[in-house]
C-alpha cells in the first residue's frame, strides 16, 4: 500500500462507503420515517409561501453523523418521498436540489466536528440565506409566478424569526445525539 493511499484512508473526509453499513441504512430509514411524521404533525403553514416545521431535524442528524454526501442523498431522497407521501402539488426538482445543498452545508459545518454554537449558527444562517430565502423563493417564483419582491419580505421575516429558535433546537438536539447516538457509529 502506498503512502498516499494510507493518507487518504486515514483522512476525515466524508465518504459514501458508510452507505454499505446496514446499521447506517437502518438509522437513515428511521430518521426518514421520523421526518415524515414530523412533517405531518409539526408543520405550520402560513399562507401559500411560508411553512414552519421541524421535519428537517432528522436530516440535520444524518448530516451531522454521516457527512455532506450521505446527507445530500438522504435530503434529496426525503424531499421526493415527502412529496409522494403528501401528494401536495406538482413535483419540482428545484426543491430537491435545495434540500441536497442544505445537507451539504450542514454536513460541511457539522460532520466530524464538536457541537459548537458557532458552527450551528453559521450553518443555519447560510442555509436560511442561500436555500430558504434565495433558492426556495426563486423556485416559488418560477412555480407560481408571484413577484419575487412580493413574497421575499415574508420569507425573510419568517427565517429571521426562526433562526435563533432553530439554532437553539439544533444545538440541544446535536448535544444529545453526540453523546447518545454518535458513539454507536464511530
Instruction: Examine residue 59 and state whether it is found in any structural domain, yes or no.
Output: yes
Per-chain mean pLDDT for the chain = 87
Q: Is residue 3 part of a domain?
A: no
pTM over 0.75: yes
Q: What residues contact residue 105 under an 8 Å CB cut-off, 6+ apart?
A: 68, 123, 126, 127, 130, 131
Q: How far apart are CA 112 and CA 14, in angstroms?
A: 9
DSSP 8-state secondary structure symbol assigned to residue 59: H
CA nearest 174: which of 107, 129, 105? 107
SS3 breakdown of the chain: % helix, strand, coil, rounded to 5?
75, 5, 20
Q: State which residues form the domain around 127.
A: 19-184
In a domain, 61, yes or no: yes
> CB–CB of 49/154 below 8 Å?
yes
Q: In percent, how much of the chain has pLDDT > 90?
A: 61
pLDDT at 5 over 60: no
CA angle 83, 88, 92 (to 5 degrees): 60
pLDDT tens digits for 17-76? 888 889 999 999 999 999 999 988 877 777 665 667 788 999 999 999 999 999 999 999
pLDDT score at 6: 46
Average pLDDT over residues 137-158: 86
31 in any annotated domain? yes
Residue 12 domain-assigned (yes or no): no
Q: What is the CATH number of the domain that holds 103?
A: 1.10.1760.20
Q: CA–CA separation, 145 vs 58, rounded Å?
A: 32
CA 134-63-185 angle, to 5 degrees, is: 180
Number of domains comprising the chain: 1
Q: Is residue 11 part of a domain?
A: no
User: What does each C-alpha distance from 13 to 32, 52, 65, 107 come to in angstroms?
Assistant: 24, 33, 13, 11
Amino acid at each position: 500500500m502506498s503512502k498516499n493511499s494510507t493518507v487518504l484512508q486515514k483522512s476525515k473526509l466524508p465518504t459514501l462507503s458508510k452507505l454499505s453499513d446496514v446499521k447506517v441504512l437502518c438509522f437513515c430509514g428511521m430518521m426518514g420515517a421520523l421526518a415524515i411524521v414530523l412533517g405531518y404533525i409539526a408543520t405550520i403553514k402560513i399562507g401559500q409561501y411560508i411553512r414552519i416545521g421541524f421535519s428537517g431535524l432528522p436530516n440535520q442528524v444524518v448530516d451531522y453523523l454521516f457527512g455532506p454526501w450521505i446527507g445530500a442523498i438522504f435530503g434529496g431522497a426525503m424531499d421526493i418521498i415527502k412529496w409522494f407521501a403528501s401528494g401536495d402539488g406538482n413535483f419540482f426538482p428545484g426543491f430537491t436540489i435545495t434540500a441536497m445543498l442544505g445537507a451539504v452545508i450542514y454536513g460541511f459545518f457539522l460532520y466530524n466536528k464538536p457541537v459548537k454554537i458557532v458552527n450551528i449558527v453559521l450553518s443555519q444562517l447560510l442555509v436560511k440565506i442561500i436555500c430558504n430565502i434565495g433558492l426556495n423563493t426563486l423556485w416559488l417564483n418560477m412555480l407560481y409566478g408571484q413577484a419575487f419582491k412580493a413574497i421575499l419580505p415574508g420569507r425573510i421575516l419568517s427565517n429571521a424569526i426562526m433562526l435563533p429558535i432553530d439554532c437553539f433546537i439544533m444545538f440541544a438536539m446535536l448535544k444529545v445525539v453526540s453523546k447518545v447516538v454518535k458513539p454507536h457509529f464511530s
